[in-house]
Amino acid sequence: AQEGAIVGKDGWLFTTEELEQTAGFENNIATTAERIVQVDAAMAARGIKLVPLLVPDKAEIYADMLGMRRPDQITERRELLLRIQSDRGVHVLDATRALRDAMQTQDVFMQSDTHWSPHGSQAVANEIAQAVARTDIQLTPATLTTHQEDSVAFDGDLLRFVPTGALRPLIGPKQEKITRFTTNIETNGGLFDDPTVDVALVGTSFSARAEWHFAGFLKQALGADLINFAQEGQGPFAPMTAFLKSDAYKNKPPKLVIWEIPVRYTSKDMNP
């Protein structure tokens, strides 16, 4: 692979971004934790429930396919952040268990891509819904239907680091397939048919890109509509900053905000 990716076993590809040990590694994690605390406090003051969702590294979930040992700092990163958050009294929903359980039946990350598969995103959506069900949040109910569509050829974002060109059918990586889904809302039980949306999703391309159908699976699992404020290519912190400045947050705040945060961003400098 060219710089930026790692070729693992059986054609599995990984981003080197997950293994980067940047300057100020632990300080950056502490800064991330403090940012989550600040956002949680700001939302709690307005009666909004924040669910920070920590998405583990693909290289952690599929460490056996990585083909190399991850540095100690990297293997400890997720638990370090969770420990700091716990000490600060903020509960973070860790998606690791849901993904490990779901990988027993299907791949939860795409082999040629940085991101989760629809199967993985659906498992995490269900985990979030179970966590929300244990709270006293009452969401405006909606009737939704999710349909599985066709499977189509899929080329992941990591393939640009292994440009095998015309030799690909012979030496790989193999062509992946991805199943497409649609989620349609039939009713949304607001007063006098005025649609009410109580949920906001904020995050990265894990939430923004249609291929993973995370927002759709979340709607179905929660039984409620949502507005997706996730952005591609901005990391998890810039979209949250933009959301906090938005008219939607200031003038018609939701009851529930789900903030999707990939682990690999938590040790980066937020203001490089």
Question: Catalytic amino acids?
Answer: 113, 115, 205
- Tally the residues of the chain: 272
What is the C-alpha to C-alpha distance for residues 96 and 80, in angstroms, rounded to an integer? 14
Interacting residues of 133 by C-beta distance below 8 A, sequence separation 6+: none
Q: Which amino acid is at 188?
A: N
Q: What sign has the CA pseudo-torsion 62, 63, 67, 73?
A: positive
> Computed over its alpha carbons, how large is the radius of gyration of the chain?
19
59 vs 117: CA distance, rounded Å = 14
Euclidean distance between CA atoms 265 and 254, whole angstroms? 26
Rounded (5°) CA angle 115-216-174: 35
Q: What is the largest CA-CA distance in the chain?
A: 61
Sheet with 49-55, strands from edge to edge, namely 93-94, 49-55, 256-262, 199-202, 226-228
According to DSSP, residue 48 is labeled P
b/e per residue, 189-214, with b = 16+ CB within 10 A? eeeeeeebbbbbbbbbbbbbbebbbb
